[in-house]
Amino acid sequence: MRIICPIKRVPDTAADKKIDATDNTVDRDGSEPVLNANDEWSIEEAMRIKERDGAEVIVLCMGPEAAQTTIRKALSYGLDGAIHVNDEGVAGSDAVGTARVLAAALADEEFDLIIMGNQSSDARTMLVPAMLAEFLDLPALTYAKKLDVADGTATVQREMPSGHQVVEAPLPAVVSVVEAINEPRYPSFKGIMAAKSKPVATPDLAALGVDAGEVGLGGAWTQVDEITPKPPKEAGEKVSDDGSGNLGAQAVAEFLTKQKLL
């Protein structure tokens, strides 16, 4: 079995996000870039299949040369190799452009399963898995909180607001996973050292046959016209009590009434 794990290099989730005022896109160098947290769940799920069934697991990433650091981080979990679409022309791609490039990178690849996080922490569109499946003409099993692969079929428990539904599809297929699916491992020192020498293919858009005008910021189907900074936090209302609890209770009741919550 051969598994593809698409990953994304994103700004540090805990850091304040910065916007490039020239084009209203995320400033990806405004904070230390990290591996998208949702992709750690998909990597863990792929590794569990690898350890159980002997699968080969390949990282797929698009981005600048600096994305090599993120790719090596993913490889340190024990994956076997990577495909890095290294082309400045992908900068600013929206969900459609991203899915188009990833699909082109896989057009001549053999694989049985694509496992990816259900969203990225910087955009949170949750659209790319289904779009990638559409470009590849494959079934999409999204929001998976449990995945079983056996006898050429992928079966998932798909997370729903009221519980879950069980869906299945023949391989190859695209599966996107949610946080509930597993607990990611930590890379071992051996894995970190081994990641430095694992093979990484680096095709550009021309090698993939992708028209640069269809991707990147110029080819995006969506754009941000205006950005308004988040307003600063206002000081809360302080309630003083004489120790009896009566004044505080009355103040809270009056506040809730004023807010039409009582």
Residue 71 reports pLDDT greater than 90? yes
Range of the domain at 207: 2-214
pLDDT above 80 for 180: yes
pLDDT at 171 over 90: yes
For residue 229, is it within any domain?
no
Residue 109 lies in a domain: yes
- The predicted pLDDT at position 16 comes to 75
Say yes or no to pLDDT of 198 above 80. yes
Please state the domain count of the chain.
2
Phi, psi of 82 (to 5 degrees): -150, 155
244-254 residue pLDDT tens? 888 788 888 88
Nearest-CA neighbor of 66 among 103, 39, 35? 35
Domain with residue 187: its CATH number is 3.40.50.620
Question: Is the pLDDT at 239 greater than 80, yes or no?
Answer: no
205 and 241 share a domain?
no
Measured CA angle at 202 (ends 196, 208), to 5 deg: 155
What integer is the mean pLDDT of 21-50? 87
* Nearest partner of 44 among 199, 229, 180, 193, judged by Cα: 180
Same domain, 171 and 242: no
* % of the chain surpassing 90 pLDDT: 66
Q: Which helix (H) or strand (E) holds 106?
A: helix 95-106
Decide if pLDDT at 241 tops 90.
no
pLDDT at position 224 is 84
* 225 is a domain residue: no
Q: Are residues 169 and 242 in the same domain?
A: no
What residues form DSSP beta bridges with 140? 174
Does the residue 63 lie in any domain? yes
Residue 130 covered by a domain: yes
Specify if 222 maps to a domain: no
* Segment 81-103 mean pLDDT: 94
* Residue 31 confidence (pLDDT) above 90: no
Same domain, 99 and 185: yes
| Whether residues 170 and 253 fall in one domain | no
What backbone torsions phi and psi does residue 115 show, to the nearest 5 degrees?
-120, 125
Give me the amino acid identity at 121.
S
Mean pLDDT confidence for 185-214: 95
Residue 28 has pLDDT above 80, yes or no: no
Do 125 and 14 share a structural domain?
yes
Do 245 and 157 belong to one domain?
A: no
Q: What is the pLDDT of residue 131?
A: 96
Note whether 185 and 252 are same-domain residues. Answer: no
The three-state secondary structure class of 84 is strand
Same domain, 29 and 88: yes
What's the pLDDT score for residue 1?
A: 94
210 and 251 in a single domain? The answer is no
Task: State yes or no: pLDDT of 119 exceeds 80.
Answer: yes
As a whole number, mean pLDDT of residues 103-122 equals 94
**For the ranges 9-18, 60-69, 109-118, 166-175, which has the lowest average pLDDT?**
9-18
- Are 61 and 109 members of one domain? yes
Q: Residue 199 — very low, low, confident or very high, per pLDDT cuts 50/70/90?
A: very high
Half-sphere exposure of 116 (CA within 13 A, CB side): 27
- In a shared domain, residues 141 and 261: no
Phi and psi at 75, nearest 5°, equal: -65, -25
- Examine the pLDDT at 18 and tell me if it is beyond 80: no
Domain assignment of residue 205, yes or no: yes
Residue 100: pLDDT band by 50, 70, 90 thresholds?
very high
CA-based nearest residue to 37, from 147, 129, 121: 121
Specify the pTM.
0.85
